[in-house]
Structure 1
Amino acid sequence: MSKRIIVSSVIGVVVLGGTAAGLAVASTQTSGKPAVENASTRYVPPTGTRAGSLTFTADVSDDSGVRGLKVLAWPASSDLDPTEAEMRSVESATCRSTSADTSRCTYTLKVTQAEAAELAPGTWHVSTLATAKDGDTTFTPRTSAFTVTR
């Protein structure tokens, strides 16, 4: 499945739901591994000829600092179930340091009505791959889940 289809799927899930979808707070803190916390989304649907947007934000921390965060939302009905290796090739959030060991990471997409029209309702999962400056990673295959209804 191409990255563009998955990205479009992320956008459409919120469009079909009709409101902003909140991602559950996710904590992946393990000894010496990066942690992903305070994950949330904000969706503004497209109107007329104006594009909408989807924004995913999370705080990522590690004692060595944060190198980056990969984010992928995918429909449970797709049988996609990404692996850590596959997550290495998905799009990255933009991370800005908020302290020596924590960064606020944000991933934003523009949303068109055409992209939203291609998506099916149902359960969706968000997967994340956090990478610390020392190379440690934390893969969370189901950081959160939400439901899309028509």
Structure 2
Amino acid sequence: MSRRIVVSVAAGAVVFAGAGAFALAHAGDQSPAPVHGKARYTAPAADRDGSLVFTTDVTASSEVKSVKVLAWPAKSSFGTKELTVNDMDGAEPAVCKPSGGDSRRCTYRVAVTHADAEGSPKGLWHVAVLVTAQDGDTTLDAKAADFTVA
């Protein structure tokens, strides 16, 4: 094997190793990411309240600081204008527990009374989730999950 080929192969290996290290470093600094969001709505019955339960898995390279949840009807002002981080100021917190590595399983539960159900718009609803990491990075998923109020 000629010396030129050996040097070229060695230089190529250094370039690929450097690119791999950059990719790993970049992957370690990713914004918080909510995934696998699920919403379960149960309407109130004659003798009991209903509920809304939302769960999501969240990964953040710098730890999860907070997860806020907001349920909103599709036929609302948020349906015509895009939901923003500022709109999430009044959102309620989810409870998060470690689920392995940098991941957390976050759950939001709220009781739905008969009065709540009667005063709520019927039809499709969305669940928005705002994740904030310890380093201040945020991710807003305005439609992390859907459910229907009948």
- TM-score of the pair, normalised by structure 2: 0.69
1:74 aligns with 2:59: no
- 1:147 is displaced (CA, Å) by 4.5
Structure 2 stretches lacking a partner, 5+ long: 1-26
Match for residue 139 of structure 2? 138
In 1, the alpha carbon distance for the partners of 2:49 and 2:130 equals: 28
Q: Which residues in structure 2 correspond to 1:17-32 (within 5 Å)?
A: 32=30
Match for residue 14 of structure 2? none
Distance 1:74 1:68, change over 3 A: same
Structure showing greater radius of gyration is 2
In 1, the alpha carbon distance for the partners of 2:50 and 2:128 equals: 22
Structure 1 stretches lacking a partner, 5+ long: 1-28
Deviation larger for 102-111 or 136-145: 136-145
Return the structure number with greater helix share.
2
CA displacement, residues 16-71 of structure 1 (integer Å, 9 cap, x when unaligned): xxxxxxxxxxxxx9x61011111112333322232222111111011111112111
SS at match of 2:100: coil
Q: CA RMSD in A?
A: 2.1
SS at match of 2:83: coil
Match for residue 9 of structure 1? none
CA contact (8 A) 2:63 2:134 kept: yes
Q: Which runs of 4+ in 1 moved over 3 A?
A: 144-148
CA contact (8 A) 1:88 1:129 kept: no
What percent of counterpart residues are identical? 43
In 2, the alpha carbon distance for the partners of 1:110 and 1:47 equals: 12
- 1:72 is displaced (CA, Å) by 0.9
Which residue identity is paired with 1:143?
Answer: A
CA contact (8 A) 1:122 1:147 kept: yes
